[in-house]
Structure 1
Amino acid sequence: MCIFPKHSEYQQIEDEIVQTLGNANDVNCTICGYHYNKNKAIVYNILCILFLGIPYVIFNWYPYFQTIKYDKSSLKNADIVLLKDDQGKFQLIPIERRLAFIPHLGHIDIRYFYYQHTQYVYHQVYNFIPLDVFVPPNSLQDILEYSNGLTSTEYKNLLDLYGSNNISIEVKSYWSLFIEEVFNPFYIFQIFSVILWCLDEYVIYAGCVCFLMLLSIATSLYQTRKQSIALHDLVESSNTEEVQVLRPNSIWGHTQVTVDSKELVPGDLLVIPPTGCVMACDAVLLTGNCIVNESVLTGESIPITKTPPQPSSEAYNPLAHKRHTLFSGTHVLQTRYYGGEQVLARVVYTGFSTTKGSLVKSILYPSPIGLKSYKDSFKFLFILFIVATCGMACSLALYIHRQSGVWDTIIRSLDIFTIVIPPALPAAMTVATVYSQNRLKKLGIFCISPQRINICGKIKLACFDKTGTLTNEGLEIYSVVPCENSNFIEPVINLEGIDPKSLLIQAMATCHSITRIDGNLTGDPLDINMFESIKWELEEPGTSESSRYDMLGPTIVKPKRYIDTSELNLPYEIGVIRQFPFSSNQQCMSVICRTLESPQLLVFSKGAPEKVSALCQQTTLPRNFTNRLTEITAQGFRVIALAYKQLPRNFKWKDAQKVERIEIEKDFIFLGLLIMQNTLKPESQPTISILKDANIRTVMITGDNIRTAVAVARDCGMIGLNEDVLLVNVHESVHHNVPPITTERIGPNTEEKNYVFNFDNSNITFAMDGKTWTNLRMHYAYLIPRLLIRTTVFARFQPDQKTQLVVNLQKLDYIVSMVGDGTNDCGALKAAHVGVSLSQAEASVAAPFTSSIENISCILHLILEGRCALVTTFAMIKYMAVYSLIQFTSVLILYINHSLMGDTQFLFIDLIIITTLALTIGKQGPSLSLGNKRPLGSLFSVRNLVPFSLQVLLCVAVQIGAVLYLHTQFWYKPLPAGTEQVVTTWENTVIFCVSCFQYLILALVYSKGKPYRESIFTNIWLLLIALALTCFITWITICPQKDLANFMDLIPRIRGQLYFRVSLMLFPVVHFILSILIEVCFADRFWFQKFLHIVTCKSQPKSKYKQIMQHSDIPELFSN
């Protein structure tokens, strides 16, 4: 039996071993079925015992190898699944079994597993699918007809199926966290190193490293547990302890009972209290209206009116029907219902399936973004592993040749591994991100996905919403253009001069979703400005907000000062009986009203001119409607169309409460246009200018009129004054099976209707609307990439179209940022590489970044910090790698010369020099200006590898040169052949002193400032530490006192050797000069980049959008 709706994206498949499924974060994962094999499990356990648990540790790191205990099996018969995510990570998840009641199927035995708090249930046709998909969604009709609540049996069955309504954030014990941390490969490697050093009698060094390792583990445990507790407390703080639900009752029909919010299940009938509440689940509103604050989800603080849906056979969808859904975690401010009835809602999602659960999951399991720096760091580790292997081979050969003892040979060879592979590399990589995140937080920019900070540094294209993002949220009424007898009349600027009883004023007074909270008007800024401009009053039933839900009476609007001259002397008031709220998909809203003196009901509608005009009787529209609309919007005004119609006399109050929206919104009479000014935010134009100068492309994605959007794009500088704008149209035509592409020129010389398109003309940009986008995807998909690279304005785009656009831009290899207010942009904000929601909230489900700087200048801070973090991360990786190679070179040279490095020397290098420098390198802030070049995105690019390799070779050459210089001294006497390795030797002293300077030099070189970071001279801590270390190392190089020299395992000061010690300082000086020259001459140099292009025969760019730009042989795009 197939229980899925036709639109399901899950396809019928055969009985397979492997399946691809989508998890809660829309990431494709692959699962493979396995069946338990008792014999293999016994062999596995024996191996673990024989090898002291080492196989268990390794298999814990690599779950894929644990499958040796199992046989591959079909998913139908599997006991366990091996899951592989997009990042190539594996996880073994056991399959559980239980008897459960499934709506429409009854009691059945289900097999399921949990992954990232999502329950996947086995279906005989579709294999494993999410429980929400397994249970088919109810139609709106079914939801609305459900009025008595769940019986005790139904409730128990659903509780068994869905579990408790609990977003549980596990706060693990310190012991559990300790075990997980200790089994991290890097800590295992450090434990191995400590054991090795103890065997090699480096006891003091091993003890210090062990202490620091324990301190690091303790710090990590504290921070991890602290973050878990903070998230746990955040989730719990918005939980409601008790709620009211309805249960069936044979006497009264139903009974209201109080239950714990954690006991709610899908299907429960929830009573929304009149004083409001914080929603404990996702629920569809069945009766009454609710005013809701959804800032926790969207970042938008303006309350939204929620209304019940219309009866329909359409399957419920939380995104499509969000205007009828009360989302978990949101705050219901006020409820309203007429006739003494309760405000009811039906629970549809609980626990992690709710919108609040999605927010928590997005924090717990951020979407993978494939960071190159992270992958490159492991490539570096692999290279270092190869170097370590070669070094170990050299060490083995050397000690075997010397006929050293077996134990000594093994210890010295293994010691190479502990030197070459830096266990602190992962921690060092996070330093830059931590510093950047803290700086952003001080600016009021919060981040729930810190790894995306580095991506900010590679942004190539910035997308912006218009209203509330580029322009101010508030709209000022400029004028109205009334329509009389199907003709526009002169615009009216002073609205007080219009008769309050005119239909146009009535429409402005009633057609809105304004309410009063704490005595203040609350609602959409457009609605509030429109209402306040006509100087009317709004009265809601009841004496207080908390009593409105049970009062019989509509919302009343009336003029503030109006004297009725009629004989009846009745007050002039209009009651709003029914409201059909605005939605992005509908692009309009309507209300059913009645004036006190009239028995007949009226319908008023307002919305996008294109939408409202389509709903009007065409004979009521002025002939020049399109031309006048074009003329107004081209000036940057926002235009709202108004219309009305009278309902039949027999259409009564009860009919108004039941009628469907589609039956009301048709055959309107056009009333006129409301013209509003939407001024640019003062920061918009300068920010766009800076982005364009930085070679970052900017585009606008808005739901507003396309000509208004183009005008705003010109005002803010997205479109240059000398640029021509071509409006691309692909609209359905009865004369063509495939709609033709036409163009219209917007701006100067618009009389040229048909424009000869020349792709080579860089002064041409495109604009398109949502309808054109849909038709392009349907009929001209092959042209989309070529159009996207030249389109600046995307207008009349619905939320899902915004998401589609962002995804298509990413396919062209753009690194895309999206800035919006979070209301209709959630999908696009989450799809973008860098999504920024302008909001006062510290975190929202809308985007990885939330900015309390409520203008687009926040994107500049993100890009600057991103570039700084990316460059610093690469610098840290290179520094840690070169530090390991310097020490590796030092140890090999000393091995060859029968010497070793001392305990104190290792401590001084690792703890005093490296630790302090590594912590301070990342403290440099971002550059104050945004350059036109982005930093390199790959550590393994030739432009990075060549300077790095030269730096390593220089380090090796300087150390070898210093030792050779030592050997030329007349007083130098080498150790006799066969001498056991000694710590305090001249080779040791020279190598130690020179290498210490090298660590310091490379730290300074990799801390260069421009063009992406502040000058090194702003990093006071680094300079002070570098100065102190320079003085100390110079002291122990030139004239170390005897006690200090003995402590540091160095040759003390001896007469006749001062000249050598002073001249030895030339090596670090020359190294410093050459090291700076390498960075100055090679890194980030245009000539070097061109040279590499010639050497590597690079004929075309890698990015797809650049490749498209290079080709001008484009087929004819437009027909006249």
Structure 2
Amino acid sequence: MVSLCTSSTNGYESIGEPKSQQIYDSENDQILCHIFAYKKSNCRSFFYHLFSILLAFIPYIVFRAYPRFKAQFKYKQCHIEIAEIFLVCDNHNKCTIQQVGVTSVNLPHFGLRGTVKYFFHQRTKYVWVPATNSFGTLNQLLWSQKTCDDYVENTEVLSNSEYLELFNLYGPNKIEVEVKTYWRLFVEEIFNPFYMFQAFSIALWCFDDYFIYALCVIILTLFSSITSLIQTRKQSESLHDIVESSRCHEVAVLRELYRGETCMKINPEQLVPGDLIVMPASNFIMPCDAVLLTGQAIVNESVLTGESVPVTKTSLHSGTEAYSTNTHKRHTLFSGTDILQTRYYGGESVIARVVRTGFDTTKGHLVKSILFPSPVNLQFHKDAFKFVFVLFIIAFIGMFYCLYLYLLREAPLKEILVRALDIITIVVPPALPAAMAVGTVYSQNRLKQLKIFCISPPRINVCGKIKLACFDKTGTLTHDGLSMNSVIPCNDAQFFDPVTDIAELEVQSEFVRGMATCHSLTRIEGQLNGDPLDLNMFEFTKWKIEEPGMVETNRFDMLAPTVVMPAKRPTKLKLAHDEKEFCAQDTQIGIIREFSFSSTLQCMSVICKDLVSPNMFAYTKGAPEKLFALCIPDTLPKDFQTRLSFYTARGYRVIALAHKNLPTKFKWKDAQKAKRDKIECNLHFLGLLILQNPLKDETVPVITQLHQANIRTVMITGDNIMTAISVARDCGMVDAYADIYILEVTESEDEAPELLVKKAGSGAQPDIAVIEIYNQHCHIAMDGKTWGKLRTYYEHLIPNLLVRGTIFARFQPDQKTQLVVALQELDYVVSMVGDGANDCGALKAAHVGVSLSPAEASVAAPFTSGIPNISCLIWLILEGRCALVTSFAIFKYMALYSLIQFTTILILYTCHSILGDFQFLFIDLIITTTLAVTMGRQGPSKILGAKRPMSSLVSPKNLVPLILQIVACAFFQLAALYYLYQQKWFEPIPDQGQDEIVVSWENTVLFTVSCYQYVILAWQFSKGKPFRKSVLTNFWFILNVVSLTAFVTWMMLSPCKKIAEIMELMPYKDLEQRSFRYLLVLFPVAHFLASGFIEMFMSDRVWLKKLFQCVSCKTRPKNKYKRLLRDNEFVNYFNSLQISR
């Protein structure tokens, strides 16, 4: 496999000097991590601790958050081979510091003796590989060169000494999900830089005797952090319980002891790679990944693939190619899968050799994808940090101005420090995150009432920006399984009318016999299991099936086959009048050999033998286009393509059936040696099977709503690509007249296989002569195999294909995750809705993952829906848009609240005054907190429109109105103060003494006017449409606004003596001051009109956006996917691809 970067076949790449390395997994074609080598330095370590202690331990907190800086400051970089410390960075540039350990190994059988260096990263153990002078995985150290022959021909068991050495190297075979204690989670939480700033602010307030508000902030912070800790703990416990529930308690292995080879039962945690497992007859959960060496096993792999259809695993064949769990998955038993039944002739044991244990297994990788998901980079949070950084800069400017004033007045040092530092807590309010979480909490509660549960509240905001919705198919868009609609038999190249009742067909007709035999069904504990298509087809025939051991089968001159026979039933129609009638109970057909369904060949076949006939015959079923080419032309009806197009255009799944009589001399041994291509040729066409995969009732209207909202939809399924295409047309994901092009790759052994394309459901001809794609009117479909080849050989084409790709079928769990990540890289905000454990990685990787299952997927998904259909996504988007707009509004409100108070404080400091404690408390607690809490109660709009809310706080179209609001606030405060200065009776505060005077006209005017401003801005930022309900529906907010406005008006116009004393306001006196107070109300009224004008005509307006685009000379879209859709060069390339025939 060709890597995505330049690397050696040994799986590593050196980056510059050998002080760093890129560890690469060639089997899964991915970079695992980057490592940077360091060694301890006593000198650097001394200065590191000294520096941290001198700065009040603050650097410890900073270095904990940024390990890259810690490594560079505390350790010395060195050669990889002598490293004591590694700075390990994953693919998302998240770094951790890991210690290097050393262990001794004595495995001469593997050519390994001496000491081995190792380190752990994200539950994976990396070891020093001497052959390559680099670090790699344990498999690269011991198993990377093993061929199929090495496994098949080597039947030796591990000796006790080899087992002990391997156990020492690999460790216990367990997938352990750590459940941290609440105390540990709390300690990790409080060392967050934000919480440290809160602690600093609270300490400063307490020092300044501002206890009440400090207590309120402590309560809010504790409530927020405790809620977060409980959710984190519950999530860990759920994942831990699920992992533990899928473990077996004991396993039988073959070991070499002092008395020779013996079979012993051990705890599965004691397994190591190389162990030989003796598989039980049934009901066994695989504790590891193992390659099957003898016999066969019927396995339920739904925990990994999501498909409930049992899979038959066969023993590994000899060969010189390197063994790989990906390439040889049909011979590999994967950890966590349910072994339903094992079979082997003569009562011999079914043997499998362990190849991977613990987190190195396929199940381990799935759990790791949940524990260490791809980080979601939220634009809103990024912008919020930028905005807070700007607030800090403003705070420092104000702080220096404050220092200048108080130094000029020769104030005491304590007062200077307290007043200066207090500016920072005013401009950067510590209650900001708690206030911003309010809207999300309300949305979360509303979703809970709809039975949509959320374990990651910040993701609710992201729901509001969804641009692309991915869906699993089975169980998500559709009900489970297929249902038989009808069959259309054919005789003498003529189609019969569609038949919906099997009683209308002759029992002995080739068509019925073909339906009864051409499948891969098997009985497990008396229950018939297999592909839903096969189950529906077989049940339609009303036949029954019996397997070896259930009936006497020695009449078939062979080892016991599976036998099918018709049940007693009346017949309504004879297909051939001269055909001899047989009694139903005398008809028994043995299925001699099965050629399994191949997605490449698009068909499956069986070789059968009838009890009453010495001859054998074959039946084949598969894609109609495939069988059209395999059948004798004379047996094909002339209206074949017309009938096919009629049903496929209506979204039905159509399967063709054919048969072939084998030569008289064709015996059982010939059947076992026969080549598939010799059987699947010169067939006689028998007819068509018409099936449907019924959609859930809610699917079509939801997909329609999403398209109307300009949200693109994509299907990612593990099912067959033709079924997926059918469902995509049915549900409206693909318009009825839109073209679907299936992208394929050749089976060439060349380094770069050729890309092929064909048109799905093309109509009259199976092959298309011309391919033409258009940006908005075509859809590309591909399967997991094609995706894998694209990632290896045509990675540069993937972005262009993804912006036009709609159907992704036969995708494995890791491929689903890869696809979601790739879509995110194109600047899509991606949601994923699924119901199976195979969706876990994709659900975790998506910006918004929604599980319709209460089991494994719910642990990985941020959202779990009790609504068993995709309508939950509509509610999530509506609530997400509402929560995002609310978060924006509250953030802007809190930012402006702090800047209003900052302006007031600086003006008062200049005037030798200050706000009183109860004035601070009234603003911070009574006004701001209650408004921030109640303004978040507005519910979502019921209409999902095409317009999405703004996602960037720092975009010009958002910043300009915000800056204008800040200017307006400052202007009206200064205007009111200027109006005060014009009064003849006014006497300013004398510029004498060091103590600030609270009770003054400057204080009263600025305090009351600013109180109005807090209420005014809360109202202006609470507009409803198009993303929220009208503000008038928010009863508690309206009540709050009216109450606060009335109370502030009362304080401004005529406060009673008691209120004036408590709030430290100028008392109500003579008539001249009364007229001043009444005219002062005009300033808040004018501010209300000005701020309303800014919000109505400037905030989030298209004209302002276009103006800035014009000024900045913007010529192309910001989002990558929009730019790719304009790529005409790719369109020309795609149109030139060779047609698949």
| Alignment of 1:384 onto 2:391 | yes
With over 3 angstroms needed to count, the CA separation of the structure-2 counterparts of 1:7 and 1:753, relative to structure 1, is same
Q: Which region of structure 1 is more displaced relative to structure 2, 460-469 or 611-620? A: 611-620
CA positional deviation for 1:954: 2.2
Query: Matched residue of 1:978: which SS?
Result: coil
The residue number in structure 1 matching 2:382 is: 375
Equivalent position amino acid for 1:765 in 2? C
| Alignment of 1:1083 onto 2:1083 | no
With over 3 angstroms needed to count, the CA separation of the structure-2 counterparts of 1:7 and 1:971, relative to structure 1, is same
CA positional deviation for 1:878: 2.2
With over 3 angstroms needed to count, the CA separation of the structure-2 counterparts of 1:886 and 1:638, relative to structure 1, is same
Counterpart selection for 1:676 from 668, 685, 691:
691
Question: Does the 8 Å contact 1:745/1:752 carry over to 2?
Answer: no
CA positional deviation for 1:1051: 3.9
1:284-303 alignment runs, 5 A limit: 284-285=291-292, 294=301, 296-298=303-305, 302-303=308-309
Question: Does the 8 Å contact 1:336/1:343 carry over to 2?
Answer: yes
The residue number in structure 1 matching 2:100 is: 95
Question: Does the 8 Å contact 1:289/1:305 carry over to 2?
Answer: no
CA positional deviation for 1:384: 0.9
Name the CA distance, whole Å, in 1 between partners of 2:459 and 2:420. Answer: 40
The residue number in structure 2 matching 1:903 is: 917
1:60-79 alignment runs, 5 A limit: 60-66=64-70, 67-79=72-84
Name the CA distance, whole Å, in 2 between partners of 1:648 and 1:850. Answer: 58
Name the CA distance, whole Å, in 2 between partners of 1:218 and 1:832. Answer: 26
Equivalent position amino acid for 2:1105 in 1? Q
The residue number in structure 2 matching 1:112 is: 118
Equivalent position amino acid for 2:1094 in 1? I
With over 3 angstroms needed to count, the CA separation of the structure-2 counterparts of 1:987 and 1:283, relative to structure 1, is farther
The residue number in structure 2 matching 1:311 is: 317
**TM-score, normalising length: structure 2:** 0.83
Name the CA distance, whole Å, in 2 between partners of 1:993 and 1:639. Answer: 76
Question: Does the 8 Å contact 1:323/1:583 carry over to 2?
Answer: no
Query: When the two structures are aligned, how many residues end up with a matched partner?
Result: 1102
Question: Does the 8 Å contact 1:463/1:699 carry over to 2?
Answer: yes
The residue number in structure 2 matching 1:18 is: 20
The residue number in structure 2 matching 1:765 is: 778
Identity across matched positions, percent: 51
1:46-445 alignment runs, 5 A limit: 46-66=50-70, 67-85=72-90, 88-100=93-105, 104-124=110-130, 125=132, 127-136=134-143, 138-139=146-147, 142-143=150-151, 150-206=158-214, 209-210=217-218, 213=221, 221-248=229-256, 253-257=261-265, 259-271=266-278, 273-274=280-281, 276-285=283-292, 294=301, 296-298=303-305, 302-313=308-319, 314-320=321-327, 322=329, 325-332=332-339, 339-341=346-348, 345-437=352-444, 439-440=446-447, 442-445=449-452
Q: Which region of structure 1 is more displaced relative to structure 2, 408-417 or 977-986? A: 977-986
Query: Matched residue of 2:110: which SS?
Result: coil
With over 3 angstroms needed to count, the CA separation of the structure-2 counterparts of 1:280 and 1:395, relative to structure 1, is same
Question: Does the 8 Å contact 1:149/1:254 carry over to 2?
Answer: no
Query: Matched residue of 1:99: which SS?
Result: strand
CA positional deviation for 1:91: 2.7
With over 3 angstroms needed to count, the CA separation of the structure-2 counterparts of 1:154 and 1:468, relative to structure 1, is same
Question: Does the 8 Å contact 2:41/2:76 carry over to 1?
Answer: yes
The residue number in structure 2 matching 1:843 is: 857
Name the CA distance, whole Å, in 1 between partners of 2:454 and 2:549. Answer: 43
Equivalent position amino acid for 2:401 in 1? C
Equivalent position amino acid for 1:940 in 2? V
Q: Deviations over 1:514-535 (max 9, x none)?
A: 4556865444332221111111
1:420-569 alignment runs, 5 A limit: 420-437=427-444, 439-440=446-447, 442-445=449-452, 451-464=458-471, 469-482=476-489, 487=493, 489-490=495-496, 493=499, 494-515=501-522, 521-539=528-546, 555-561=562-568
Equivalent position amino acid for 1:538 in 2? I
The residue number in structure 2 matching 1:686 is: 701
Name the CA distance, whole Å, in 1 between partners of 2:1051 and 2:665. Answer: 103
Question: Does the 8 Å contact 1:453/1:866 carry over to 2?
Answer: yes
Q: Which region of structure 1 is more displaced relative to structure 2, 1018-1027 or 107-116? A: 1018-1027
Equivalent position amino acid for 1:62 in 2? Y
Query: Matched residue of 1:76: which SS?
Result: helix
The residue number in structure 1 matching 2:977 is: 963
Question: Does the 8 Å contact 1:584/1:798 carry over to 2?
Answer: no
Question: Does the 8 Å contact 2:740/2:779 carry over to 1?
Answer: yes
With over 3 angstroms needed to count, the CA separation of the structure-2 counterparts of 1:70 and 1:526, relative to structure 1, is same
Q: Which region of structure 1 is more displaced relative to structure 2, 222-231 or 892-901? A: 222-231
The residue number in structure 1 matching 2:575 is: none
Q: Deviations over 1:170-196 (max 9, x none)?
A: 333444344333322222222322333
Name the CA distance, whole Å, in 2 between partners of 1:225 and 1:790. Answer: 41
Name the CA distance, whole Å, in 2 between partners of 1:772 and 1:235. Answer: 32
Query: Which structure 1 residue ranges, 5 or more long, are not aligned?
Result: 545-551
Q: Deviations over 1:403-459 (max 9, x none)?
A: 323332232112211222233444445554555455445545556665554443333
Q: Deviations over 1:104-132 (max 9, x none)?
A: 33234222222221222233537333334
CA positional deviation for 1:582: 4.7
The residue number in structure 1 matching 2:1122 is: 1106
With over 3 angstroms needed to count, the CA separation of the structure-2 counterparts of 1:462 and 1:230, relative to structure 1, is closer
CA positional deviation for 1:931: 0.8
Name the CA distance, whole Å, in 2 between partners of 1:93 and 1:490. Answer: 72
Question: Does the 8 Å contact 1:744/1:754 carry over to 2?
Answer: no
The residue number in structure 1 matching 2:42 is: 38
The residue number in structure 2 matching 1:873 is: 887
Question: Does the 8 Å contact 1:874/1:939 carry over to 2?
Answer: yes
Query: Matched residue of 1:984: which SS?
Result: coil
CA positional deviation for 1:281: 3.6
Counterpart selection for 2:1016 from 990, 1001, 1005:
1001
Question: Does the 8 Å contact 1:305/1:513 carry over to 2?
Answer: no
Q: Deviations over 1:659-703 (max 9, x none)?
A: 799799755845543232344443333223222222233455678
Q: Which region of structure 1 is more displaced relative to structure 2, 399-408 or 157-166? A: 399-408
| Cα RMSD (Å) | 4.8
Question: Does the 8 Å contact 1:634/1:747 carry over to 2?
Answer: no
The residue number in structure 2 matching 1:548 is: none
Name the CA distance, whole Å, in 2 between partners of 1:675 and 1:238. Answer: 38
With over 3 angstroms needed to count, the CA separation of the structure-2 counterparts of 1:1036 and 1:943, relative to structure 1, is same
The residue number in structure 1 matching 2:3 is: none
**TM-score, normalising length: structure 1:** 0.85
Name the CA distance, whole Å, in 1 between partners of 2:761 and 2:329. Answer: 36
Equivalent position amino acid for 1:403 in 2? E
Q: Deviations over 1:333-378 (max 9, x none)?
A: 5666665455555444333333443444333322113221121121
Question: Does the 8 Å contact 2:844/2:862 carry over to 1?
Answer: yes
With over 3 angstroms needed to count, the CA separation of the structure-2 counterparts of 1:859 and 1:318, relative to structure 1, is farther
Name the CA distance, whole Å, in 2 between partners of 1:753 and 1:158. Answer: 57
Question: Does the 8 Å contact 2:242/2:856 carry over to 1?
Answer: no
Q: Deviations over 1:275-330 (max 9, x none)?
A: 62444444445566656555554555x35234234425454544555555554445
CA positional deviation for 1:163: 1.4
The residue number in structure 2 matching 1:547 is: none
Name the CA distance, whole Å, in 1 between partners of 2:9 and 2:99. Answer: 30
Name the CA distance, whole Å, in 2 between partners of 1:282 and 1:430. Answer: 44
Query: Matched residue of 1:35: which SS?
Result: strand
Query: Matched residue of 2:958: which SS?
Result: helix
